[in-house]
Amino acid sequence: MGRHAIKTPPHHATWSDFLATWVEADRIEVFESAWNWDHFYPLAEPWNGPNLEGWTMLAAMAQATSRIRIGCMVNGMHHRHPSVTANMIATLDHISDGRFEFGIGAGWNEMESSAYGLELGPMRDRSDRLEEGLEVIISLLTKAVTDHSGRFFQLNGAFCEPKPVQHPYPPIVVGGKGRVRTLRTTARFADQWDMTFPPAPSDWQELNEVLLGHCAKVGRDPSEITRSIHLGYSPDDDPKALADQANSFFDVGVDVVVWSMRGPITPDRLEPLAVELA
């Protein structure tokens, strides 16, 4: 049976709206996890509207909830040095009592990266940085001391304490559709792969076959990787039709549907969807 999550893009709403919605999701058992995103600008008009920062938001949500797993879908590796990210992962895992999931991607938003002076670089650099950054993060979360000399990052006698509550570290969720590099990185490192808004089950199946090929090449058991997708949830959508749409993806092998809320973020929108999903 398929599993479900919610996502509240943290733009164009107030903190109280997000807080009430996550508290309600925590109450509804059909939703196993709740997510936000790691962007600094809205991704819908007006482009200069409000957008809350994802990681600090998660720390507050960890205290406001008790059951639901929480995460950011997904963080841009270039937004923070991986040594800083590792410390944030460990801290959030403690604050949430082991309910944190670490979402990560290579990054893509050139507009906000350029505006903030964050070096994004060409596609090859983004992919190389993602893989090297994950190596640094995993080392810091699992080893007493980390030394690393790479193309993007250098660490000398670095440590990260305390270690996370979850052993050896919180699940790694890699998001993206890149056939050559992103899915190879998924095969190497990820506990979950997320594909955002696949047009149809057949499109997801095609990319999943690519992932299976990468798993074979790196010697990874593909059953160890949870598959999730994003589907949109707008105020005018029929929850019954959405449940049918989700089932069409579950039938081909998707494990989790992340319902990304479009339009007003209000807690009363969750129960009608949950009734049909259940």
Residue 103: predicted pLDDT: 98
CA-CA-CA-CA torsion for 112, 126, 220, 202, nearest 10 degrees? 60
Q: Are 211 and 229 in contact (CB under 8 A)?
A: no
Residue 258: predicted pLDDT: 98
Mean pLDDT confidence for 27-36: 98
Per-residue pLDDT tens digits for 56-75:
999 999 999 999 999 999 99
Residue 222: predicted pLDDT: 97
186 residue type, one letter: T
Mean pLDDT confidence for 20-34: 98
In angstroms, how far is the first alpha carbon of the chain from the final one? Answer: 10
Residue 1: predicted pLDDT: 77
* Three-state secondary structure call for residue 41: coil
Per-residue pLDDT tens digits for 188-237:
999 999 999 999 999 999 999 999 999 999 999 999 999 999 999 999 99
Structure token digits, residue 142: 């699992």
- The mean of the pLDDT values for the chain is 97
Domain architecture of the chain: domains with CATH: 3-277 (3.20.20.30)
Tell me the sheet residues that pair with 3: 256
Structure token digits, residue 106: 């290579």
Residue 260: predicted pLDDT: 98
Per-residue pLDDT tens digits for 148-193:
999 999 999 999 999 999 999 999 999 999 999 999 999 999 999 9
- Asked if the model's pLDDT at residue 136 lies above 80, the reply is yes
